[in-house]
Structure 1
Amino acid sequence: MASERKALPVIDTTRCTGCGWCVAVCPPHVLSLAVVPGWQKKSTLHDEAGCTGCAKCAVRCPFDAITMQRIADLPPPR
């Protein structure tokens, strides 16, 4: 439930290599790989509402590209 969630993953696209490990370990399957300019794949949070905030993606990322940010500290959605 979103009200119980304390943090969301924030992906640093300059560190993300598109390896897909975060996508593989995400229990609610809210992360995916998306093609960005230059035809590179990068991880993206495609379903923020479905994220449980478990941080498995951040723990598994071998490139430290994912950090968990408290919801109160996130900028409002556009």
Structure 2
Amino acid sequence: MSTAPRKALPAIDTDRCTGCGWCIAVCPPHVLSLQVQGPHSWGPKRSKLHDEPGCTGCALCAVRCPFDAIRMVRTTGHATTP
């Protein structure tokens, strides 16, 4: 079974992201996560797209972000199948 072509991927501005987690909560394929910034295992967390091939490009994360930290960036290829 093939997947539909993906038109865009989320690009997260880590300077604007507060790590609130709203984008993660609304992501249907669960491809976003909070990750600690820096070399330590503690500290500020920011949202990250950890599974690019699994992203559907639905843009719910960008719509839900209250800090305008996520913008959708057009892609040129198609989604890959696992």
TM-score category of the 2 structures, normalised to the smaller one: 0.7 to 0.9
| Superposition misfits of 4+ residues, deviation over 6 angstroms | none
Runs of 5+ in structure 2 lacking a partner?
A: 77-82
- Once the two structures are superposed, the pairs formed by residues 19-38 of structure 1 within 5 Å of their partners are 19-37=20-38
RMSD: 1.2
1:15 offset after TM fit, Å? 0.1
Structure 1: gaps of 5 or more residues: 73-78
Deviation sequence 1:4-30 (CA, Å, 0-9, x none)? 100000000000000000000000000
- Mapping of residues 1-78 of structure 1, within 5 Å: 1=3, 4-37=5-38, 39-72=43-76
Q: Give the structure-1-normalised TM-score.
A: 0.87
Normalised by the size of structure 2, how large is the TM-score?
0.83
Provide the aligned length of Structure 1 versus Structure 2. 71
